[in-house]
Amino acid sequence: MSEPTADYALQVHGLCKSFDTPGEPLVVLNGIDLDVVTGTSMSVMGESGSGKSTFLHIVGTLERPTSGNVRVGGVDPFSLSAEKLARFRNTEIGFIFQDHHLLPQLTVLENVLIPTLVGDHNRADAEERVRSLIDKVGLTPRIGHRPAELSGGERQRTAVARALVNGPKLLLCDEPTGNLDLKTSQAIGHLFNELRSTTGVSFIVVTHSAHFAALFDRQFQIVSGALVENTPANAG
């Protein structure tokens, strides 16, 4: 792993994760090393149960590794107190899931505002930022609509704006297009890359779709607990 620095959105060294079982420990991740330069994107594929979501949960600070080091923007989040870790996660890491998790009674504007309700955010500044993000994801005409009035792609775009509202360094996406058709999935992928260019956020996307995975700067697979980068040398 390179020296800790904010030039990297994510640095991982020797990451291992195992779970206790009645017999031998179940090893899911085994010695993963990874540097993600700020403002770049990567995709992660692998068979069901290979550890993709576990990897995402650990780098997102939702779960602790068994061993190894994780730094987000040069900071070791697992060295923080529980209160500081929660604040760090809210401001430095964004999450997008297969299910958009929008609140059905709220409008697009209100759903995107939710993360700003935690912490010392100026309401007027937060709303201005939210409106700007909603415009960037192409939803200004839908800003007053509720989730039931949106298409699947529009709901996921709302979730993208919500994940970006606090200006995170890292955006983690777990099967973000799993419920979308191919055309809409491709549009979401292109949106991710546009946002990466304009906001400087780094994307890590877990997916089962090879077409979607190919849209990002680097492509990886998790194989037998290891993170393997797809290159011309190993693609075949």
User: What is the amino acid identity at position 13?
Assistant: H
Strand 26-37, strand 170-174: pairing: unpaired
Asked if residue 98 has pLDDT above 70, the reply is yes
Strand 26-37, strand 202-206: pairing: unpaired
Strand 170-174, strand 93-97: pairing: parallel
CATH topology of domain 8-229: Rossmann fold (3.40.50)
Q: Where are the domains of the chain?
A: 8-229
- Nearest alpha carbon to residue 108 among 156, 54, 179: 156
What is the per-residue pLDDT across 165-176, written as a single tens digit (0 to 9) for each? 888 999 999 988
DSSP 75: B
Neighbours of 126 (CB within 10 A): 18
pLDDT-based confidence at residue 158 (cuts at 50, 70, 90): very high
**pLDDT above 70 as % of the chain:** 94
Alpha helices in the chain (DSSP H): 52-59, 82-92, 108-113, 123-136, 152-164, 182-199, 210-213
102-128 average pLDDT score: 86
What pairs with residue 171 in β-bridges?
94, 203
pTM: 0.86
Q: Which residues contact 82 (CB under 8 A, 6 or more apart)?
A: none
